[in-house]
Structure 1
């Protein structure tokens, strides 16, 4: 249920800073899992969501990006460059839609098939020339225990990029609004939280 996930967020330890035109929130859950989100200050649009879970041997885990372009940040941090011709899969949400972009896919639109899997939990991208295959879930829908429906999937192709969108259901939109209201209420406190309202 969306409400159960919202309650989990509310009960976590949260810190918040305003920096570089972004509201950055860090959540720490009781099991040690960390969640970091960054929102654009002007329109509250989600720019980055990333997770860090404890390593298998209890050590520090790595940040795993759910929303935002991880490959670009890794290149900057590590000085490594992926092949510029490899497909690059990233998620960038809009207010009313989940959106994914797969760069470096040069094939015409009729080459692609974007379908919901039989389990109603995954979206599958295939090309008729068998050059690309990708299966992915929508973690927000999983957390809210909502099925994915084919009728809300749309896709387009431009500039060697396949753009896939999925219309957010009302439950997700309402949950996101509630979370924004919760974030805006955050004030400075003695345990290190920072006032999240711009001064």
Structure 2
């Protein structure tokens, strides 16, 4: 409960910040987290749906009172019991999306890493923590590989396509590298 309060306070401060870039990154991260939680409820209703929320208080207590899951009898990328595709691709893309938005809004690599780590902690301990214990591999993979590696690669690739007259192919490539950011900028987000 204390963790949820701390996270809610941090998000509230970010959203009420005088810095528009901070508000954009916070809103983007919140939207991604909410979308992931709703998507999980649709894909796995028995585990994440409304009926499962009855067990949320017990799961949240367990999430903050026990260490993250790391099963030594499984491969590293499946050490939390999830398929490697969920951990490698899903958490990699999640981390890169949060990291990229921070970088696109002027954040330095360390600030983008902090946003990514914070979003990963919020997911593992609050949103997913309501149904199962946090995952050690997810807490590490999301900000390090998803953020610092994949997110920074996306950022550099996007910016390498800058041009005074970008042309259709460059605009398409930039849209593919940052689809959500492209939609947000088209809607007037600014960065």
Instruction: Please give the TM-score of this superposition, normalised by the length of structure 1.
Output: 0.27
Higher strand content, 1 or 2 = 1
> Based on CA coordinates, which of the two structures has the bigger radius of gyration?
1
Greater length-normalized contact order (CA 8 Å, ≥ 6 residues apart): 2
Instruction: Please give the TM-score of this superposition, normalised by the length of structure 2.
Output: 0.27
